[in-house]
């Protein structure tokens, strides 16, 4: 049963900005979490209360609530919105380094020691390319993580992979599609074959149903750009009755030195948030540990620019509690993101498409403060 309203217009009432403010869920995030609470119980409920308090900047935890672990940066597609499909970003932010199993284990064990509830064994990569993925999920599940999630392009979700993923202990899976038709899909997910991806997802859902499994909760993802915005409603209609949640996601820049204004959709409510009252919740929630071991305060594609240090040399605990990280959290709580040069660029490029438009944004902000 989907959580999404059946007709298009009432869905507008269901739109909520959640998590890091960059995604709009068309099932409310609460619906999905209520389902998970009913399956996973009080521990999950307590974790979500902490998560919500951190998102309101009321709870500064002594360890991140969410670890994103990027074990490599390998993908079989070349989506033009992603650093893997953008030569300028690829050169700056993509490397061939793979995280060792020992380092992965060390991260999970540190998380376990601090009661960390949630993890995503995926970064800028295609997680299904990693044959250790199910082993990583099981290891996290065996070591106290109760919310284990990932996004995948689903191109490699064969029947046997679907069965092993369904048995792995994953709690949430999101299929990234960005299109409702073959024509658009093959433009925005370069290298993917529409029919194959659709068949893979339908089969995954069918097996989950046949096996009578409550988990994982399943969603589909649509990063809205100028190139696919005309298919947003068709996408919602296609998936509304098939999955637990549909996410329409804001475009984020693959890197910050070039002009991405051609990607920005013609209408974006989130742009108003960015221009008027932006506070980033990510440094209050999570760290992303890159393939290189760099520990970053957010999942921005360029977040290695904000690296706090390397997990090969320091504990996550120490980096999370560093002065630098406390300071970043305070900046965002107080609405002073522009004092961090990377956050300033991040917001500029997300809202305007390029740093050339930065002046405009700064003028708006200073008007607001005065
Ligand atoms: C980088 S991908 C990695 C996982 C997997 N390969 C996939 O595509 O789902 C993680 C998520 O980022 C999304 N994404 C890609 N480019 C983006 C962009 N420029 N802005 C926001 N999200 C983006 C993808 O659609 C996907 O849901
Ligand atoms: S499938 Fe995912 S990781 Fe690969 S290029 Fe597309 S968005 Fe990037
Ligand atoms: S760069 Fe700053 S504003 Fe952008 S996602 Fe990271 S922490 Fe948030």
Q: In sequence order, what DSSP letters do the residues of 352-370 get, joined into one string?
A: HSSGGGHHHHHHHHHHHH-
Would you state the pLDDT for residue 122? 98
Specify the pLDDT at position 315: 98
- Distance, CA of 147 to CA of 273 (rounded, Å): 28
Residues with CB under 6 A from ligand 1: 75, 79, 81-82, 122, 124-126, 151-153, 176, 178, 221, 223, 249, 251-252, 254
Indicate which atom in ligand 2 lies nearest the CA of residue 155.
1
pLDDT tens, N- to C-terminus, the chain (370 residues):
333 221 222 222 334 434 444 454 555 677 788 889 999 999 999 999 999 999 999 999 999 999 999 999 999 999 999 999 999 999 999 999 999 999 999 999 999 999 999 999 999 999 999 999 999 999 999 999 999 999 999 999 999 999 999 999 999 999 999 999 999 999 999 999 999 999 999 999 999 999 999 999 999 999 999 999 999 999 999 998 899 989 888 899 999 999 998 999 987 777 777 777 889 999 999 999 999 999 999 999 999 999 999 999 999 999 999 999 999 999 999 999 999 999 999 988 888 776 654 444 343 333 333 2
- Tokens (6 digits) for 338: 């522009």
- Asked if 253 and 349 touch (Cβ cutoff 8 Å), the reply is yes
Query: Which residue, by CA, sits nearest to atom 6 of ligand 2?
Result: 79
Checking phi first, is residue 195 left (phi over 0); if not, alpha (psi -120 to 50) or beta?
Answer: alpha
DSSP-derived 3-state class of residue 281: coil
Q: What per-residue confidence (pLDDT) applies to 354?
A: 67
Q: Of 70, 81, 123, 255, which is best to mutate to test ligand 1, by the most ligand atoms within 8 angstroms of its C-beta?
A: 81
User: What does the pLDDT read at residue 277?
Assistant: 84
Query: Is 124 near ligand 2, meaning CB less than 6 Å away?
Result: yes
Residue nearest to atom 5 of ligand 1 (CA): 152
Centroid of ligand 1 to alpha carbon of 117 (angstroms): 23
Q: Of the candidates 56, 55, 37, 53, which has an alpha carbon nearest to the alpha carbon of residue 45?
A: 37
User: How far is Cα 236 from Cα 11, in angstroms, rounded to an integer?
Assistant: 10
The closest residue, in CA terms, to atom 11 on ligand 1 is 151
Question: pLDDT digit string (tens) for 200-236?
Answer: 999 999 999 999 999 999 999 999 999 999 999 999 9
* Half-sphere CA count of 233, side-chain side, radius 13 A: 7
Q: Which atom of ligand 2 is nearest to the CA of 75?
A: 4
CA nearest ligand 3 atom 1, residue? 343
CA 176 to ligand 1 centroid distance, Å: 7
Question: Is the shortest distance between the CB of 85 and ligand 2 below 6 Å?
Answer: yes
**What ligand is nearest to the CA atom of residue 260?**
1
- Residue 247 β-bridge partners: 25, 221
Going by DSSP bridges, is the β-strand pair 309-310/286-289 parallel, antiparallel, or unpaired? unpaired
User: Ligand 2 centre and the CA of 74: distance in Å?
Assistant: 9
At residue 42, φ and ψ (nearest 5 deg) are -65, -35
How far apart are the C-alpha atoms of 370 and 366, rounded to whole Å?
6
Return d(Cα 85, Cα 217) in angstroms, integer: 29
Residue listed under structure tokens 């065996």 = 142
Question: Comparing C-alpha atoms, which of 83, 82, 103, 108 is closest to residue 94?
Answer: 83
Query: CA-based angle 140:141:146, to the nearest 5?
Result: 105
Tokens in use for 350? 């997300």
Distance 285 CA to ligand 1 centre (A): 19
Nearest ligand 2 atom to alpha carbon 126:
3
């Amino acid at each position: 049963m989907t959580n999404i309203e059946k007709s298009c217009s009432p869905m507008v009432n269901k739109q909520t900005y959640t998590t890091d403010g960059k995604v709009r869920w068309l099932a409310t995030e609460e619906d999905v979490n209520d389902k998970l609470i009913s399956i996973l119980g009080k521990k999950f409920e307590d974790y979500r209360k902490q998560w919500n308090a951190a998102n309101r900047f009321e709870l500064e935890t002594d360890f991140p609530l969410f670890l994103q672990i990027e074990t490599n940066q390998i993908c079989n597609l070349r989506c033009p919105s992603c650093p893997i499909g953008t030569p300028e970003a690829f050169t700056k932010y993509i490397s061939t380094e793979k995280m060792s199993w020992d380092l992965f284990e060390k991260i999970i064990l540190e998380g376990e020691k601090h009661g960390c509830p949630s993890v995503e064994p995926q970064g800028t990569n295609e997680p299904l390319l990693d044959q250790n993925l199910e082993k990583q999920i099981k290891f996290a599940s065996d070591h106290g993580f109760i919310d284990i999630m990932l996004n995948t392009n689903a191109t490699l979700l064969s029947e046997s992979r679907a069965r092993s993923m369904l048995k792995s202990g994953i709690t949430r899976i999101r299929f990234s599609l960005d299109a409702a038709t073959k024509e658009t899909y093959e433009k925005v997910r370069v290298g993917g074959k529409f029919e194959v991806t659709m068949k893979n997802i339908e089969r995954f859902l069918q097996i989950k149903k046949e096996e009578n499994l409550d988990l994982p909760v399943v969603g589909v993802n649509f990063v809205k750009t100028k190139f696919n915005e005309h298919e947003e409603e068709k996408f919602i209609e296609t998936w509304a009755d098939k999955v637990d949640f549909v996410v329409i996601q804001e475009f984020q820049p693959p890197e910050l030195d070039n002009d991405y204004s051609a990607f920005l959709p013609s209408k974006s409510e989130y742009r108003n948030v960015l221009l008027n009252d932006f506070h980033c919740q990510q440094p209050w929630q999570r760290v992303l540990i890159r393939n290189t071991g760099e520990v970053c305060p957010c999942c921005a594609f360029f977040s290695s620019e904000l690296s706090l240090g390397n997990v090969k040399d320091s504990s996550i605990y120490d980096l999370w509690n560093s002065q630098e990280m406390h300071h970043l959290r305070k900046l965002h709580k107080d609405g002073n993101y522009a004092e961090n040069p990377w956050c300033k660029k991040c917001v500029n490029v997300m809202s305007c498409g390029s740093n050339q438009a930065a002046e405009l944004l700064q003028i708006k902000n200073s008007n607001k403060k005065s």
